[in-house]
């Protein structure tokens, strides 16, 4: 089963493609910092999501829930970015699941308050592959996909 994990971000949106059976991953990301117009950012994320889906045989997608912080304006922008992602995924008829940051960290590290660098370290050790010089959003996206693999595996053993 190939899972697409997506970490929505207004500066960088990252995609982690994890093959749950073969324990391999690929990744992609789009840097949005040079795009000034927010509508253009949304469109760029939509197109990039479609491109990633087209280039991989995705079975399901997992997306991180938007973290509602003190800054409501940032939360609203992230929600719009997530909306562009969801539209692209659903247009491809792919099932989408949503995980909170705490659920992802709990599945990967066993600790719901793990740091981004701790998650990156675990991903590197799990796959025996370095993620040097990549945004932390990439290891976050891989973590999201891997968390879904973990939850799917646990659910299939229970059912």
Burial 127-158 (b: 16+ CB within 10 A, else e): eeeebeeebbbbbbbbbbbbbbbebbeeeeee
Residue 81: give its domain's CATH number. 3.30.420.10
Total structural domains within the chain: 1
Rounded CA-CA distance 89/20 in Å is 19
Other Cβ atoms closer than 10 A to 78 = 21
Q: Provide the whole-model pTM.
A: 0.93
pLDDT in tens, 35-70: 999 999 999 999 999 999 999 999 999 999 987 666
pLDDT in tens, 18-31: 999 999 999 999 99
Task: Name the residues annotated as catalytic.
Answer: 7, 64, 137
Q: Which long-range contacts (CB under 8 A, 24 or more apart) does 102-109 make?
A: 103/147, 104/64, 104/140, 104/143, 104/144, 104/147, 105/143, 107/146, 107/147, 107/150, 107/151, 108/143, 108/146, 108/147, 108/150
The residue range of the domain holding 119 is 2-158
Rounded CA-CA distance 108/142 in Å is 10
What pLDDT was estimated at residue 158?
37
């Amino acid at each position: 089963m190939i899972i697409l994990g997506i970490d929505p971000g207004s500066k960088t949106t990252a995609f982690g493609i994890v093959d749950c059976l073969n324990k391999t991953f690929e990744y992609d990301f789009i840097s949005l910092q040079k795009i000034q117009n927010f509508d253009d950012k949304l469109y760029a994320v939509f197109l990039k999501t479609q491109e990633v889906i087209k280039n991989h045989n995705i079975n399901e997608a997992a997306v991180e829930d938007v973290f509602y912080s003190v800054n409501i304006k940032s939360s609203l922008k992230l929600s719009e970015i997530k909306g562009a992602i969801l539209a692209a995924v659903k247009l491809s008829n792919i099932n989408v699941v949503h995980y909170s940051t705490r659920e992802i960290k709990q599945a990967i590290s066993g600790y719901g308050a793990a740091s981004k660098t701790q998650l990156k370290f675990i991903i590197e050790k799990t796959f025996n592959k370095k993620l040097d010089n990549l945004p932390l959003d990439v290891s976050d996206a891989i973590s999201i996909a891997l968390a879904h693999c973990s939850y799917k595996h646990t659910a299939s053993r229970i059912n």
